Structure 1
Amino acid sequence: MKLLSYNIQYGFGTDGHYDLTRAARVIDGADIIALQEVERHWSRTGHDDQPAMLEAMLPHYYTAYGPAFDMDASTTDGARVINRRRQFGTMILSRWPILWTRLHLLPMRRMITPLNTQNPALEALIVTPLGPVRVFSLHLAHVGVEERLTQIDHLLRLHAEVPQTGGPWSGRDDEPARNWTESQPEPPAPQTAIWMGDFNSEPGSAEHIRITGASPYHPGAVYAGGFVNAVAHLGQTLHTHEKIIAGVQRLRQLDHCFVTGDLAPHLRRAWTDNTETASDHHPLWVEM
């Protein structure tokens, strides 16, 4: 099973050109894909509906889209309103059906500068060859460590409460004539989970220690949050982002895959393609 996490920078490559087909080419072939920075109806991308375009380009995948940033982009032809929402968020694609999803809006602080926007964590239940797994595509804040730690604490609380909360619906349908559940049984909501996305933080950071409960470079430690950093667990060092900071070229791993401890024994390898130019991030692959 091949997992892929990829911040596609809304289709803009390192050459500054917009071409969503390049991102589609990169991700085709993975089994479960977590995308970040997928948008709808922005002028910079020709008002494209990127989730719909990716669905059309990758018709063999099940998909779900979770926008966190949402504003009005409606127009009028003089006779009627043409309703459109300008959206920015995360997306999950899967070889297997996505039985349910729910979008978590992560805590944020009001800012004067720089610009801050609502961050998402899209959760999906997928029955994989390893069993049912709750898969997240998430994008943590870029504005600072404290906001990211608050967001991580929120996600860890949600994770801890899963045995009590279950999935998006539970219980016996007491109005069968209305068929609220479409005759589907109560879906699984296991603690087994995979978090993938742009964490805007590096291995060894306070954010990663908060997720794992220990340094990610000590895979034998007890993980307070129940999560394992996949790349570090495999003893690898990768980078998924390159940026000049204070005149120095920095190679950073900002994109990560964390798995609950029960999945750690299934981790096989991780890699990225640092020659890929379809986005300012490089795709992170993890095989289980």
Structure 2
Amino acid sequence: MRFVSYNIQYGKGRDGAVDLARIAREVAGADVIALQEVDRHWPHTGMVDQVALLTEHLPAYFWSYGPGVDIHIGKSRPEEARRRQFGNLVLSRYPILRSRHHLLPKMGSVDALSIQRSIVEATIDCGDTRVRIYSVHLCHLSSASRLPQVDRLIDIHRSAVHEGAAMCGNLSGIPYETGVHDQSVPHLAILMGDFNCQPDSPEYDRIAGPGSDYGGRITPEDGFVDAWVAAGNDRDEGHTSDVRGVPAILDYCFVSPAIRQRVRSCRIDTAATGSDHLPLWTEIDF
């Protein structure tokens, strides 16, 4: 299966043009797509619903959207039923059995721009395997703002099985379709997105485990492995964006340790021009 993560910067490409058709072309062929910075009804993108447009361009996919930012549009009327939103989108050729939307810890600010970040969690039925997919976007401001978000992300992952499915238990007498009540939550998970941190950061260590004095990382079974490394790539390579003009590694695919040996490849699409980030493609045997 082919997975791709892409911070699309609301479709604004290197040429300055907002072009969602270009974004759709650049992720075409993926089985599961995790997008970040997808907006709805903002002036800088022509007040369009980007979720509606992207899903029109990608009609063969199931999808789930979760906004971190959800605010009133000035002078809008109730009958317009529109909100100004900014968040993450998961698209899948396979059914999304259920999804959850999680808001991450946020620091208030009277100076630097602080944006509410969030995660979309989607449980995908891949046939023989079910897996939880997370489209993640962490804060851009500082390590101090991201570390609480990473802690929350890990807590969400580790609590998922214990919390159970969105509806579970005995639904006797409730008119829901057969099978809703006995859908267990899979242990396997894949995190994809813009983590806004480099591989030498404490945030990265918190996710992938601290480095060992003898090589490798100390990663628990309920932790995560960087798919880029699992595929045999050098972790000092693979720039996906830049920070103030300096190339940076900000986008990742992290997989449950039980999946690490199924990772066949992980690559950056350096030819993509649809955003200020580059798509990260990962191929995993399922």
Give the TM-score taking structure 1 as reference length.
0.91
Q: Secondary structure at the match of 2:253?
A: strand
Question: Partner of 1:70 in structure 2?
Answer: 70
RMSD: 2.0
Map 1:1-288 to 2 at 5 A.
1-73=1-73, 75=75, 81-129=79-127, 131-176=129-174, 179=175, 181-186=176-181, 187-215=183-211, 220-224=216-220, 226-236=223-233, 237-243=237-243, 245=244, 249-288=245-284
Structure 1: how far apart are the matches of 2:129 and 2:171? 26
SS in 1 for 2:122: strand
Query: Does structure 2 conserve the Cα–Cα contact (< 8 Å) formed by 1:73 and 1:83?
Result: no
2:198 and 2:212 mapped to 1: Cα distance? 10
Q: What CA distance in whole angstroms lies between the structure 2 residues aligned with 1:258 and 1:189?
A: 19
Q: List alignment gaps of at least 5 residues for structure 2.
A: none
Residue 81 of structure 1 deviates from its aligned partner by: 4.1
Check the 8 A contact 1:126/1:134 in 2, yes or no: yes
Runs of 5+ in structure 1 lacking a partner?
none
Identity %: 41
- The list of structure 1 runs, each at least 4 consecutive aligned residues, that deviate by more than 6 angstroms after superposition, is 216-219
The worse-fitting range, judged by mean Cα deviation, of 209-218 and 50-59 is 209-218
Residues 184-225 of structure 1, C-alpha deviations (whole Å, 9 max, x = no match): 333231121000000001112111100122239998543135
1:183 CA displacement:
3.3
Q: How many residues align?
A: 279
Aligned residues of 1:234 and 1:267 also touching (Cα < 8 A): yes
Structure 2 CA distance for partners of 1:218 and 1:240, relative to 1, 3 Å: farther
- Maintained 8 Å contact 2:212/2:218: no
**Which residue type is aligned with residue 111 of structure 1?**
S
Please state how far the C-alpha of 1:271 moved relative to its aligned partner. Answer: 0.8
Check the 8 A contact 2:240/2:250 in 1, yes or no.
yes
Distance 1:29 1:42, change over 3 A: same
1:74–1:83 Cα contact (<8 Å) kept: no
**Conservation of the 8 A alpha-carbon contact between 2:41 and 2:47:** yes
Bigger shift: 80-89 or 266-275? 80-89
Given that residues 208 and 217 in structure 2 are in contact (C-alpha distance below 8 angstroms), is that contact kept between their aligned partners in structure 1? Answer: no
TM-score, normalized by length of structure 2?
0.92
Rounded to whole Å, the distance in 1 between the matches of 2:76 and 2:228 is: 50
Cα distance, 1:273 vs structure 2? 1.7
